[in-house]
Amino acid sequence: MRVMDSILSSVLNNINEGIVIVTSDLKIIHWNPFMEKLTGGKKKEEVIGLTVGKVLPELDKNYFYQAAKQIITDGRPVFFSAAMHRYMVSKHYRVNLNMNRVTGDGQAAILLEFIDVTGQFLRISQLRNYVRQLSLLNKRLKQKEKVIKKLAYYDNLTGVANRALFDKLAEKYLTLAKQSGTMLGLMFVDVNEFKGINDTYGHHVGDQVMTRVASFLTESTRKNDIVCRYGGDEFLVLLPDIQTFEDFQIVSDRLLSDRQSFLIYDGCQVGLSLSIGTSLFPKDGQTIHELIARADSVMYANKKAFRKGKVQ
């Protein structure tokens, strides 16, 4: 029997988990070396005979005493998780606790198994941190995606649609107009004497002119209309879902009446004026190319008239 006790004691002392055995009144009668590690050096000689709640203050709680009473009474095992009970042995280790009734010499005792799960919690923490990093990276990628999309479809200077986006949307809205039997309006806009503005005031002012024209066109058209910088000083305005010619006339008249303005630069007034040509599907063309060509032709005629009037 002593040999068996010796073997059992050796097993408990060499197992890689904290083993504590307490009497029914919770006094410690066994404390293995692994518990010394978990508790930061509390040795067997120091704790034998003390109540477990005194040695491990986190167990000096009503829930623990109720569990111990239940085990002694009916033998049902109890489990406490490290997730809910963080510091059962020390602040440096996370442990799960299994509690079971054991008997010997006709007396009941309680076996406490403290299973070290610190590494698991560390890996979980690392995984959570990794997930957070992935989430942050994904957010940054989406932001960069938006920037790339903007660079691909919007003019860098004025912020309005570029030619690539215009071509994409124009075909879409032309198809919708054909299917629904509505009209599609187009305006070709050119800045008069833009080269002279650049030569006189410099490209910085020229950039301001482009930005001002883009803002003017955006403010003067409807919310769903597409303003596009088509070339250096050329803009196109696409007017989808035109129900009547009067609808088209309202927008075009607004642009035509307000197409002259001034840009203040270094105390000087820089005069701006626009030449505008319009076309309307299906009256002026069946394709976007035909509508652009028609509007360009009207715009060019208006530009010639502007130059002629200026010379006179």
Model pLDDT for residues 14-41, shown as the tens digit of each residue: 678 899 999 999 999 999 999 999 998 8
**Cβ-based neighbours of 163, under 8 Å, separated by 6 or more:** 228, 229, 230, 231
Total-model pTM: 0.55
Of 311 and 272, more confident: 272
Q: The tokens of 152 are what?
A: 């691909």
Residue 147 has pLDDT above 70, yes or no: no
In which band, very low, low, confident or very high, does the pLDDT at 175 lie, cut at 50, 70 and 90?
very high
Of 187 and 271, more confident: 187
- Work out the widest C-alpha separation in the chain, in whole angstroms: 127
> What pLDDT is recorded for position 4?
46
> What pLDDT is recorded for position 311?
40
Q: Cβ of 132: how many Cβ atoms within 10 Å?
A: 10
Q: The tokens of 266 are what?
A: 């270094």
In which band, very low, low, confident or very high, does the pLDDT at 11 lie, cut at 50, 70 and 90?
low
In which band, very low, low, confident or very high, does the pLDDT at 6 lie, cut at 50, 70 and 90?
low
Residue type (1 letter), 307 = R
> What pLDDT is recorded for position 104?
77
Output 251-260 pairs: Cβ under 8 A, ≥24 positions apart.
251/185, 251/220, 251/221, 251/222, 251/225, 252/185, 252/187, 252/276, 252/278, 254/220, 255/187, 255/189, 255/217, 255/220, 255/221, 258/216, 258/220
- From the number of C-beta atoms within 10 Å of its C-beta (0-12, 13-18, 19+), residue 312 rates as exposed
> What pLDDT is recorded for position 167?
92
**Can you tell me the distance from the alpha carbon of 258 to that of 234, in angstroms, rounded to the nearest whole number?**
17
Q: The tokens of 23 are what?
A: 């009497």
To the nearest 10°, report the CA torsion of 154, 159, 160, 164.
-10
> What pLDDT is recorded for position 282?
93
156-177: average pLDDT: 92
Cα separation values, 196 from 200, 201, 203, 311, Å: 6, 8, 11, 15
Helix (H) or strand (E) holding 237: strand 234-242
Residue 254 has pLDDT above 70, yes or no: yes
**Cβ-based neighbours of 230, under 8 Å, separated by 6 or more:** 163, 166, 188, 236
> What pLDDT is recorded for position 3?
46
Percent of the chain at pLDDT > 90 equals: 45
Cα separation values, 26 from 9, 22, 87, 197, Å: 20, 5, 19, 95
> What pLDDT is recorded for position 20?
93
Residue owning tokens 């442990």: 95
**Can you tell me the distance from the alpha carbon of 229 to that of 210, in angstroms, rounded to the nearest whole number?**
9
